[in-house]
Amino acid sequence: MDDAAVDRACEMIGRARKVVVFGCGREGLQIRGLAMRLFHLGRDVAVVGDMTAPAIGPGDLFVMTVGPGENSTALALLQVAKNAGATILVLTAQPTGRAAAFADSTLVIPAQTMADDQGPTASAVLPMGSLYEGMLLIVFEVMIAKLRALLGVSP
């Protein structure tokens, strides 16, 4: 992975007034874990779909994971965030997918997803997006370690 891109993502999170996160399915479970860790660091964070999720706007960061590059829910939410003036960080394995076009910054997770788990492009024994989802956990924990140092938060 591009360590400089991970650092840029951490800087975006550190600068944001508020961070709002979203992912579908099992990616959603992983990004909820990131939200909890950001809360532990004292960040103002919310998960799209939770009853207490606030509106998003300028100064806020929308973090979306969409490994396969696009789905209708992701594209609709990205448009809402863009229209509201939020900064957008997209995590994906498909940087040429339609979701990345909305991003102010893209963090590429080089792992198999449902977009490439069949035929000659299949690279993992794990089904569908399992490899990508596992990579998210690792990347998020690395990001939290970097953010802890960046924000000066003690263990």
SS3 62: strand
DSSP string covering 87-112: EEEEEES-TTSTGGGG-SEEEE--S-
| DSSP bridge partners of 105 | 89
SS3 149: helix
Q: Kind and range of the H or E element at 64? A: strand 61-65
Residue bearing tokens 């996160």:
21
Catalytic residues: 133
Q: Note whether 138 and 128 are within 8 A (CB).
A: no
Report phi then psi at 64, rounded to 5.
Answer: -120, 135
